[in-house]
Structure 1
């Protein structure tokens, strides 16, 4: 039996054969280009001197930016250091407590040396913060006189007038307080039935500087504090916490989350570890809280 191998599948016209031949030539040409063309990358030469100069400039700009963002320290009277102020200055809790205990006894610090004797801060920290100490004029201008007794001393609690009953006219006698700020203080006080709870609430009166507040508290103090029901921090709900000044719903949720992680707060100062907590307002917030 004979087989016919002739088939039309492998028959090409002249133009088709020419096209196949041309395609093979193109493939060969491309392969030659791939193997013979130099694909190596040119060597990049780095000017190390210019690079070091550029890096030094970047480091300088970074250092300037860090310095700009660092908290600024302004002159202050060390007698009025609060927990928050002491924390920002780098003082330890026990050092702050010694200062507050000393002040609560009606005593005043009148020199850098006495500040260290009372607080027992390290020499390095004292050297860092003491240039910012600003004592009142009656201390800095005091000239010893063996034949006379200096009587211009800070007023005791009993000698001070009640901040909750002070009039605008009385407040205007304070250096730095005019008609505008005396009215602002009274307007803020009158927002609460019963007035201020403590002197620290003066920080919430917009525009009052720490120096002016210090001047006020040398003559006035809260003698008849507004009575409030403190909230137990370890059992408080979100709805209870948002009734406190400077606490919104986000912060209240963060406070409860931190409480869960800590299995309860041991100290009100632990609130400073809460995400987004306004550390500069902690002394005011603490007025409304307890751990009982």
Structure 2
């Protein structure tokens, strides 16, 4: 059987193939030419529409600026949302609420800072907007004793660093999970230096912390070997609970720039370094 026999066409078949190819070429030519002969016009934006759009953007910006405005307020009645917007963290807000629940009333900016523990930088920012009622200035402060001496008189205070999970469960509101978290966090720190470090335990609200401190306090500070900030590696610094890997890196960069860190307070000079952590890391670092 010859292959070429399949490609033999008579005159009519050849004409049909020719006209089919011609038709395909014509259609292709029309399609390509249409892009040049009839270009797609971009939609023209009228000047009025553009101005209206710009006006809407300006209105949104104005709303944002208005939202950021701080109005005078009584700090004793801060809501969670407003306190957060002002820059306070959860622990600081909880301390204020715990103090108010005991019947205390803040009567000055300095007392507000003492109760909440907010950093000086934040206090300078929001203190000008504090407004206290006249009677608060006249009455003597009724702030409760936060040292725990009254509780100590009624019952023996136990050492928080020696308390077992079972001991802690004797406090109302502290169950198996919370007592376990307290012990675990204490071990992670190497021991509590301050009673207030209880506020850092996940899941502990301020009311429960107050109950714990009625029975347990830091009687004996832990024997923790402090890290020398001038010789510690980035890994060593990041091993501290209060320092992230990024923050440890910033300390190393600053140390290299100044040759030697003479005081832990120098860390406040580091850009974007959290001031509120400095008082805590002082407990675990030394400049030697």
Normalised by the length of structure 1, the TM-score is 0.50
Asked whether the equivalents of residues 87 and 122 of structure 2 are also in contact (C-alpha less than 8 Å), the reply is no
Cα deviation digits, residues 103-139 of structure 1 (max 9, x gap): xxxxxxxxxxxxxxxxxx97x35438x9xxxxxxxx5
Cα deviation digits, residues 163-206 of structure 1 (max 9, x gap): 1123445534546534431232123334566x333334324421
- The question of 1:87 aligning with 2:87 is answered no
- The question of 1:188 aligning with 2:185 is answered yes
Distance 2:146 2:242 in 1: 36
1:1-292 alignment, distance < 5 Å: 45-46=47-48, 50=52, 53-63=55-65, 70-71=85-86, 73=88, 74=93, 76=96, 77=99, 78=112, 79-82=114-117, 85-87=118-120, 89-91=122-124, 124=128, 126-127=130-131, 139=142, 155-156=148-149, 159=152, 160-168=157-165, 170-172=167-169, 174=171, 176-191=173-188, 195-274=191-270, 277=273, 279-292=275-288
Distance 1:88 1:217 in 2: 29
TM-superposed deviation, 1:86: 2.9
TM-superposed deviation, 1:44: 5.3
Cα deviation digits, residues 227-268 of structure 1 (max 9, x gap): 012122234333432332243544323212112334543432
Distance 1:156 1:189 in 2: 23
More helix by share: 2
SS in 1 for 2:219: coil
Assess, with a 3 A threshold, how the Cα gap between structure 1 residues 70 and 203 changes in structure 2: closer, same or farther: same
Asked whether the equivalents of residues 188 and 241 of structure 2 are also in contact (C-alpha less than 8 Å), the reply is no
Distance 1:171 1:65 in 2: 45
Distance 2:55 2:185 in 1: 56
Assess, with a 3 A threshold, how the Cα gap between structure 1 residues 66 and 237 changes in structure 2: closer, same or farther: same
SS in 2 for 1:245: coil
Larger Cα-atom Rg: 1
Kindly tell me the number of residue pairs found equivalent between the two proteins.
Answer: 200
Asked whether the equivalents of residues 200 and 283 of structure 1 are also in contact (C-alpha less than 8 Å), the reply is no
TM-superposed deviation, 1:222: 1.1
- In structure 1, runs of 5+ residues without a counterpart are 1-41, 93-120, 131-138, 143-151
Assess, with a 3 A threshold, how the Cα gap between structure 1 residues 267 and 192 changes in structure 2: closer, same or farther: closer
Assess, with a 3 A threshold, how the Cα gap between structure 1 residues 91 and 214 changes in structure 2: closer, same or farther: farther
SS in 2 for 1:127: coil
Normalised by the length of structure 2, the TM-score is 0.51
Cα deviation digits, residues 207-228 of structure 1 (max 9, x gap): 2234543443354321122201
